[in-house]
Amino acid sequence: MRLLTGNDLKTGAVTWWTGSDWSIHVEDAADVAGSEDEIARREEAARRVNSPYAVDAELQDGSPRPSHIKERVRALGPTVRPDLTLKPADPEIGNWVI
Amino acid sequence: MYKYDQYDQAMVDARVEEFRDQARRRLEGKLTEDQFKPLRLMNGLYLQLHAYMLRVAIPYGTLNSQQMHALADIADKYDRGYGHFTTRQNIQYNWIKLEDAGDILADLAKVEMHAIQTSGNCIRNISSDHFAGATADEVVDPRPYAELLRQWSSFHPEFSYLPRKFKIAVIASDTDRAAMRLHDIGIQIVENDAGELGAAFYVGGGMGRTPMIAPCINPFVPLDRLVTYAEACLRVYNRYGRRDNKYKARIKILVHEMGAEEYTRQVEAEYAHLLEEGVEPPFAELERIRAYFEDPLFEAGAGDEIDRSDPDFAVWVDRNTVAHKETGYVSAVISLKPVGGIPGDATAEQMRLMADLAKDYSFDELRVMHTQNIVLPHVRKADLHALWTALDEAGLGSPNLDTVEDIIACPGLDYCSLANARSIPIAQRISERFAANGKTGTLGELKLKISGCINACGHHHAGHIGILGVDRKGVENYQLLLGGSEAQDASLANITGPVFSEDGIVDAVETVTTVFERERQDGERFLDTYRRIGMNPFKEALYG
Amino acid sequence: MAETLRYRDDQPVDHPAVTVDAFVDQSNAQAVRIEPGDDTRELLPHLQRLALVEVNFPAFGDGRGYSSARMLREAGYEGELRAVGDVLVDQLAYMRRCGFDAFEPDQQFDMDDVKAAFERWPEVYQNAADDRTPIWTKRHP
């Protein structure tokens, strides 16, 4: 599957296109295969996202997992500061990223 | 240290307003991201892996307690309670919002700080010797010259859209503590036989994809022509630096492709022309700046003895204090490399403590080292134990300066969108490994540097041991390099062979230190042994 | 093409701007357009017959035109020096300092932004091709 990701213009937060909106949670990301360029252009022009681009992902346990480790670090937060990630309490999260 | 006058203050204040206006126009859609990007970069604002990242300038690594407190306040108010000290003597915040950036710059301006030109294709922060003004081996304090060049380079109308970034370092001793020859321009202030001071210009050094050691293009530029010569160097670069390929756009490529001789010829011609154009400030300006860098009021007859009865304190004194030109004083290094910690990171609380300690014990001055530690430049020996006690309590007392635990690491894939691999966990595991095997002390001086990608922000080419993160089909792997040096004996490290996994690289580092211990002669450092015996013994041990 | 901004008192030159090579060859040409890769110094022997120099910025990030402009002013060129192409309002202040006195941007400027750009800097650190007094002169009059 393909996910569309970018940053929130004002806050810089990493965001994922859900199909109707932008979410900071990669679990909410929708498959944009086939329409990624069109959505990216429209959303960027409306300033609802900054610098969007598409990435490959697979479904794992029903949830999108980006194929590249860099995007997984981006999705969650720095592996060396679990307290600063989106899932500070999840002990399994290292396995998901790496 | 330097203090702004009303002119300097007016410039940073104007810059804050300019940026606020640019950010507003971006948020309103009057500027596209492509148009806004170079403008925000020239204010140190990156769009990074997790959020906007702000790089604040710490000119030639010098700051006072008020400024350090302000950095702590910014970490708490606008970020997540910590900052990262970089390999160019700056500080970075990783969780910045664009909508706050104007306010942050305003807060910085209140304490004579800024983020001007810490990124972008312009002249960046000018770095210098972190022991400047304290060390006995300098011919003069290099920092006034760095300050003169800082002002010259700030908002320079001709050189703000260069082919690529431009990094300058200024030193004034034969011992190079600022990796001077690995800069686009490195300047060493030297003294000639007649006792006159001049500037030796080295142009075309750098790391990254194609590391190069800068050749000397002029061994003695008179100090009252420093700016004119720098301007000539920049103009030739601006005109002829490559703009067709981002990876070939640094001045090192120009000097290499043109040849140092031809580049020098063009610079000398431009210099002769510019001498007629009045670009040089009057010498009185340099003297005005120099007055800010006079010695603090050292206590005459300060005691030269240190009570070493506390063994942990004694180890710290031996490793983390450096000889001072004044009797009874040392420079003390605050380690930001606790075993298993994130190299170069400091919490807001730690920043505040360091600020207060500087005020109490170091004439209100701190320095950021390019090796990501903090220096208190002027500490009375009599105060060392109290200082160390406070540092130790705060996790800032690791006695590991220049040892294998004193690792330089870029933020890597945990923080940086350019990275191929994570660097911080490697640093953590290596320092833990050596703390556990107890060999940190016996190995002695061992400069280990880790970069998460070929951009080499961790300066791995200049490591006695260097590690480079690479991406092999989406899996992090690590190249091992040996034999680099960033000092006056500059050399570029050599690759040992095939890459290692994350587990493998930690073992590999331990392996090469074992070879070193076996082969070492007469108090050699790791670097010396490597240079004497070459790569083969290490290769054999690593790959069998 | 958007409106040209001009900060000169004299009449604009009506000649077509030719390339550097063509200008050097044609003794009756009065206007030239410099591309980023041109060597501006080829024009220096011919400054007396030059009334208009256009400096092209095909991409705003290519800063070679700033050096071209400043070098012409240093050589004594007093005619119109016009920045054309991908010129953004945020570059105007530095361009002016390098000696540009006319601007022909691809995209229309917002005149409020132009005014703000030119009024932005109360002081300057360097001696450049404009007539602004650098801070070091003010410090040491």
Q: Based on the domain organization, do B330 and B421 belong to the same domain?
A: no
Chain B from 405 to 444: CB within 8 A of any C CB: none
* Residues 6 or more apart in contact with residue A95 via CB below 8 angstroms: none
Give residue B91's domain range.
6-110
Tell me, yes or no, whether A98 lies in a domain.
no
- For residue B509, the model assigns a pLDDT of 98
The two counts, helices (H) then strands (E), for chain B are 17, 20
For residue range A36-58, what is the model confidence (pLDDT) as tens digits? 999 999 999 999 999 999 999 99
Q: Is C63 on the interface with B (CB under 8 A)?
A: yes
Residues of B in contact with C90 (CB under 8 A): 22, 35, 39
Domain count, chain A: 1
Q: Based on the domain organization, do B134 and B283 belong to the same domain?
A: yes
Element (H, E) at B433: helix B424-437
Of A12, A44, A78, the CB nearest to B96: A12
- For residue A91, the model assigns a pLDDT of 83
Of A14, A67, A69, the CB nearest to B50: A14
Domain C5-139 in CATH 3.40.50: yes
Q: Do B159 and C123 touch (CB under 8 A)?
A: no
pTM of the model: 0.97
- For residue B147, the model assigns a pLDDT of 98
Give chain C's length: 141
Q: Supply the mean pLDDT for chain C.
A: 96
Judging contact as 3 or more Cβ pairs under 8 Å, the answer for C and A is no
Tell me, yes or no, whether B403 lies in a domain.
no
Interface test with B, best of C91, C97, C135, C137 (most B CBs within 10 A): C135
Q: Based on the domain organization, do B260 and B218 belong to the same domain?
A: yes
- For residue B194, count other CB atoms closer than 10 A to its CB: 5
* Residues 6 or more apart in contact with residue A83 via CB below 8 angstroms: none
How far apart, in Å, are the Cα atoms of C128 and each of B185, B244, B280, B455?
22, 28, 11, 34
What is the rounded distance in angstroms from the CA atom of residue B294 to the CA atom of residue C117?
39
Q: Do B50 and A78 touch (CB under 8 A)?
A: yes
Give residue A66's domain range.
2-93
Residues of C in contact with B239 (CB under 8 A): 64, 67
Domain count, chain B: 4
Per run of 10 residues, the mean pLDDT along chain B (length 544 residues) is 98 98 97 97 97 98 98 98 97 98 98 98 98 98 98 98 98 97 98 97 95 97 97 98 96 98 98 98 97 97 95 98 98 98 98 98 98 98 98 97 98 97 98 97 98 96 97 94 96 97 98 98 96 98 96
Of B121, B155, B160, the CB nearest to C125: B155
User: From A7, which residue of chain B is nearest by alpha-carbon distance?
Assistant: B51
Q: Based on the domain organization, do B320 and B386 belong to the same domain?
A: yes
Give chain A's length: 98
* Residues 6 or more apart in contact with residue B416 via CB below 8 angstroms: B48, B49, B410, B452, B453, B457
- For residue B490, count other CB atoms closer than 10 A to its CB: 21
Q: Do A74 and B49 touch (CB under 8 A)?
A: yes
Chain A from 3 to 22: CB within 8 A of any B CB: 7, 9-14
Q: Is B414 on the interface with A (CB under 8 A)?
A: yes
The two counts, helices (H) then strands (E), for chain A are 3, 5
B148 three-state secondary structure: helix
Query: What's the gap in Å between the CA of A79 and the closest CA on chain B?
Result: 6
User: From A68, which residue of chain B is nearest by alpha-carbon distance?
Assistant: B474
- For residue B169, the model assigns a pLDDT of 98
Q: What is the ipTM of this complex?
A: 0.98
Pairs of residues, one from chain B and one from chain C, whose beta carbons lie less than 8 Å apart: 100
Q: Based on the domain organization, do B380 and B232 belong to the same domain?
A: no
Q: Do C61 and B154 touch (CB under 8 A)?
A: no
Q: Based on the domain organization, do B209 and B133 belong to the same domain?
A: yes
φ/ψ (deg, to 5) at B76: -75, -45
Q: Based on the domain organization, do B389 and B414 belong to the same domain?
A: no
Among the listed residues B227, B59, B58, the one whose alpha carbon sits nearest the alpha carbon of residue B158 = B227
Query: What's the gap in Å between the CA of A36 and the closest CA on chain B?
Result: 19
For residue range C54-80, what is the model confidence (pLDDT) as tens digits? 999 999 999 999 999 999 999 999 999
Residue A93 pLDDT > 90, yes or no? no
Residue C1 pLDDT > 70, yes or no? no
Q: Do B7 and C135 touch (CB under 8 A)?
A: yes
Q: Is C118 on the interface with B (CB under 8 A)?
A: no
- For residue B51, the model assigns a pLDDT of 97
CATH number at residue B104: 3.90.480.20
Domain coordinates in residue numbering, chain C: 5-139
Tell me, yes or no, whether B234 lies in a domain.
yes
DSSP-assigned letter for residue B246: G
B409 three-state secondary structure: strand
Tell me, yes or no, whether B453 lies in a domain.
yes
Judging contact as 3 or more Cβ pairs under 8 Å, the answer for C and B is yes
φ/ψ (deg, to 5) at C74: -60, -35
Query: What's the gap in Å between the CA of C59 and the closest CA on chain B?
Result: 11
In contact, B352 and B374? CB cutoff 8 Å = no
What is the rounded distance in angstroms from the CA atom of residue B169 to the CA atom of residue B127?
5
φ/ψ (deg, to 5) at B329: -125, 155
How far apart, in Å, are the Cα atoms of B414 and each of A81, B91, B389?
9, 17, 32
Q: Do A11 and B97 touch (CB under 8 A)?
A: yes
In contact, B519 and B533? CB cutoff 8 Å = yes
* Helix, strand, coil abundance in chain A, percent, nearest 5: 30, 30, 45
φ/ψ (deg, to 5) at B39: -70, -45
Q: Do B49 and A80 touch (CB under 8 A)?
A: no
